[in-house]
Structure 1
Amino acid sequence: MPLHSLQRLSPTVLLGLWRLSETPADLWPLLPRAEAYRALLPATADGKRQAQWLGGRVLIHRLLAEAAPAVAAAVQVHNDPTGRPWLDGPGAELTVSLSHSGAWVAAILARGGRAGVDIEEIRDKAQRLASKFLAPAEWAAAQAACTTAAEASTHYTLLWSAKETLYKLAAQRGIIFKTQLLLGEFEPRAAGHIPATLVLSDFETRHCICYSQPSPGYVLTYCHESPA
């Protein structure tokens, strides 16, 4: 399936979604300078992981073609030692965030300001790990919000995804999810916003995390800042 959606969140920020149905062989021809990317493909990736890896880079290039067409083909997506993507080439001033889970790939491209995106397949894993990543107040609010097992799986996956997005926006090592990525109160819906606070060593910043369900069984979260 080709590009699922491309949404302009602001004059400087684009969000893209790709629903994977392609094999790696289908995706390679969609990449500019594919041979350069072959050297970057993780050697241990199986067919599914290869498709996710390739789909993410194809999606970023689609966003680049929309936001910076003059340089889109000359830019290459790399990953830093923590796994975060960055752009090498004439688009190096752009910020990119990337996520994939199951059949979905999500990417956000911003010119100025930080950005983060995360997509997650809904599972009960996040609920089992709640004590590891939720502050006590967040955990209590989640328990009060869920009355069924299905609601709990969705809600805890959403909370995990929101913290993943905030972590990607922070772009710093060593952040503790439980104490430095804090989520405020919100009314759980199919789509909405979650107030969040990023607590760093010398200051705090406030953010608004947007969320939705791009298809049954998945949650999407993203956050971006306005250019300074």
Structure 2
Amino acid sequence: MAIAFRKQVDADTEIALWRIEEDADTLYHKLQLNEQEKAYVDQLANGKRHLHWLGTRVLLRTMLDTTNYIDCRIDTHGKPYLYDMPYHISLSHSFDYAAVMISKSRPVGIDIEQIKQKVERIAPKFLRHEEQAAIDADNKIAHLYVCWCAKEAIYKCYGQKEVSFLDNIALERFPFTAEGSLQAHLHKGELHIDYKVDFLQYEDYMIGYVKA
């Protein structure tokens, strides 16, 4: 399958989704991997985790439109980066989809989640009381997923560990729509960063994405 959805965010930033319909062997043969990457893939049990790793890399290769080897590494905080290409990247996946965001100028973060009822049970673990109070009762589950995806996207964009969704990332009140944006703030010690997070619903998935 080719790219299922693609959006140009600005002149040098875009996001895309890949619906993973291929088997692992088909995805594997779309990639160039070094020996370390091959060994890592061999360690992954066949299943969604295997397909997700391959799917995000196939999508990244497709977006970068290159036949050269892509040296995609993971830093000490778990953030993926390209060693010898001038792009910031962020990767995500959920069930049947892989998602990638790339930018030539600034750090980025993207998160995709399939919309499920379970998010309501964990909402108090990632939303403050005032954030929970702002949720649209008529669209509660989808609205909660916007909040989760926004905080996850910010976490990935910031790119360092030891950030609490509950204590360090605050969302301003925003109305629920199928596509829109919200204002958010990351506070940690002396650090204060403001973000504008975009979001959209695609089929039964929610996507949040942000550029620093």
> Does residue 219 in structure 1 map to residue 199 in structure 2?
no
Deviation at 1:125, TM superposition (A): 2.2
User: How do 1:53-132 and structure 2 match up within 5 A?
Assistant: 53-65=53-65, 69=66, 73-88=68-83, 90-91=84-85, 93-132=86-125
Question: 2:171 is matched with which residue: 152, 170, 183?
Answer: 183
Shift of 1:108: 0.5
Partners in 2 of 1:30 and 1:99 — Cα distance?
A: 19
**What pairs up with 1:24-39 in 2 under 5 angstroms?**
24-33=24-33, 37-39=37-39
TM, length-normalised to structure 2: 0.92
- CA separation of 1:42 and 1:86: change in aligned 2, threshold 3 A: farther
Amino acid corresponding to residue 165 of structure 1 in structure 2: A
Please show how residues 143-154 of structure 1 align to structure 2 within 5 Å: 145-147=136-138, 151-154=139-142
Output one character per residue of 1:24-74: Cα deviation in whole Å (capped at 9) or x when no partner: 011112113476631232724332221111010011111222xxx4xx623
The 8 Å contact of residues 61 and 73 in structure 1, kept in 2 or not, is answered as no
TM-score if structure 1 supplies the norm length?
A: 0.86
Cα deviation for residue 188 of structure 1 reads 0.3
Q: Which amino acid aligns with 1:221?
A: G
Paired residue type of 2:17? L
Q: Does 1:133 align with 2:126?
A: yes
Paired-residue identity, %: 29
What does residue 2 of structure 1 align with? Answer: 2
Q: Please name the residue that 2:21 is paired with.
A: 21
Which AA in structure 2 matches 1:188?
F
Q: CA deviation at 1:104?
A: 1.0
Aligned pairs for 1:135-174 (under 5 A) are 135-142=128-135, 145-147=136-138, 151-174=139-162
Q: Distance in 2 between matches of 1:36 and 1:177?
A: 33
User: 1:74 is matched by which residue type in structure 2?
Assistant: Y
Unaligned runs of 5+ in 2: none
Paired with 1:40 and 1:62, the residues of 2 have a C-alpha distance of 21
SS of residue matched to 1:39: helix
The CA deviation at 1:114 is: 1.6
Question: After superposition, what is the alpha-carbon deviation per residue over 1:174-219, rounded to whole angstroms, capped at 9, x for unaligned?
Answer: 011112111111110111111111113213121111111121x210
2-structure distance, mates of 1:99, 1:134 = 21
The 1-side partners of 2:145 and 2:45 are apart by 25
Q: CA deviation at 1:97?
A: 0.3
Compute the RMSD of aligned alpha carbons.
Answer: 1.8
Query: Distance in 2 between the 1:33 and 1:203 partners?
Result: 38
Letter in 2 for 1:83: G
| Cα distance between partner residues in 1 of 2:149 and 2:102 | 18
Check whether the contact 1:95–1:111 (CA below 8 A) recurs between aligned residues.
yes
